[in-house]
Amino acid sequence: MILVGIKQISCIDGVLKSSPDDFVVDELMLYEPCGEGEHLYLSVRKTNMSHDELVRQIAREFGVSKRDVGVAGRKDLRAVTTQMISVYLPRKEISTPETIGSIEVLASNWHTNKLRLGHLSGNRFSIRLREIDHRNPRNPRNPQTYELIKERFFSLSQTGLPNLFGPQRFGNHGNNHKLGLAVILEDWDAVVKELLCGEERHHSFAKEGEYKKAVDAWPFGQPAQRNVLEALAHGKSPEQACKTIAKSLRKLWVNAFQSAVFNEVLGCRLKDGTWNTILEGDVVWNHEGGGRTFVATPEDVRSVAIEERISTFSISPTGPLWGAKMRLPTENVLKLEQSVLSSFDVDAEHLAKIKKIAKGARRPLRVQVANQVMEVGADHVGDFVELKFELPAGSYATVVIDKLLRGDV
């Protein structure tokens, strides 16, 4: 009877990140520093701090350019996060501080290379959900809802997690992918419009073409917007104004567009139920082989060995991170991916123009959620459900939470 009651509840309300301590992330390193070299590796913990601010403070502390600071991954702002940072310090004797501003330095060592994005095996999460709606009483110890969350949580170990990009990939305003599309299409008017959109007084000045007034009213901390406005105020064209935008930011936008297309493709395969199976023509991801891929043949699709490898999470189908050098699938899989890309009015010619900032890659459509622990507890704030788990690098804990609360993605 309890199971019947569970099935009747589809969506659960809950609060995520009511405080930074409710969202804890620990980076799982791909390798340890060897103890010698010109790059100082720092294990650091930050609380409620953006990635850019972390890099800025580290660079300032050691008197280096931000380009000399390496990271393996970007971490959430509203959270407590532990990660490795590298600082290029050739021929320097360094006394490592215990703190850098509000950043805690937990350990340090030397290594021979700079940390790069992707130089991690994954992340360990400890997340507390609060104010969970159980349709009276509002109590996470209510057995129906507790069992439903538990059922959904541990079912991920069997089915895998749809490897969607989370909302943070698309920026605070949720429009980074729109900016990326405009950059790819070289629609500079659209870039300016999207970059300066909003409902506040300074946005109104920009809409009305009062660029000087917009600059004066625009809040600090948004250099891209201010640089574009200053260029427009001096009579520059939208294209010329957009050239003031940092290459790293334009790359971030284009990457967000790639992510949006991937999410669309994955959404299609979720609807038809093929997101966790291998189709003829799929580019297949080898989870145990460092991301090596192969294209599935008809023989592969019919193979018992392939089915076994799918069930054990050895392999998964992939989706596109479109770029000129991306490995292409074949058959109906290719038709689907091309159809989704075409819906954005983007083609191979556009991709060739941006190959320097978006070469293209494949991303598995699903990932395994590992080392899962679920507990119910209470503290000075109130009741909570605590979820502990690990995800591969590049996968989003917010997608796990969405799956648990909504029952779908």
Q: Do domains 2-17+123-160+373-406 and 31-117 have the same CATH topology?
A: no
Burial class (CB in 10 A: 0-12, 13-18, 19+), 378: exposed
Residues in the chain, pLDDT under 50: 1-9, 134-138
Say which CATH class 2-17+123-160+373-406 falls into: alpha beta
Active site residues: 76
* Residue 191 to residue 110: CA distance in whole angstroms: 42
Cβ(196)–Cβ(408) under 8 Å? no
- What is the tens place of the pLDDT at every residue in 293-328? 999 999 999 999 999 999 999 999 999 999 999 999
pLDDT in tens, 174-214: 999 999 999 999 999 999 999 999 999 999 999 999 999 99
User: Which pLDDT value is given to residue 93?
Assistant: 80
State the pLDDT at residue 18: 81
| 197 Cβ contact partners less than 8 Å away, ≥ 6 residues apart | 173, 175, 203
Sorted by where each begins, the domain ranges of the chain are 2-17+123-160+373-406, 31-117, 196-235, 256-367
| CB distance 254 to 354 below 8 Å | yes
The number of CA neighbours under 13 Å toward the Cβ of 398 is: 14
The listed CATH number (3.30.2350.20, 3.30.390.50, 1.10.730.10, 3.30.230.10) that belongs to domain 256-367: 3.30.2350.20
Q: What CATH superfamily is the domain 31-117? A: TruD, catalytic domain (3.30.2350.20)
Which residue type occupies 285? W
Q: What is the pLDDT of residue 315?
A: 95
pLDDT at 12: 81
- Distances in Å between the Cα of 357 and the Cα atoms of 184, 251, 395 are 11, 6, 21
Neighbours of 46 (CB within 10 A): 25
Angstrom distance (rounded) from CA 288 to CA 314: 6
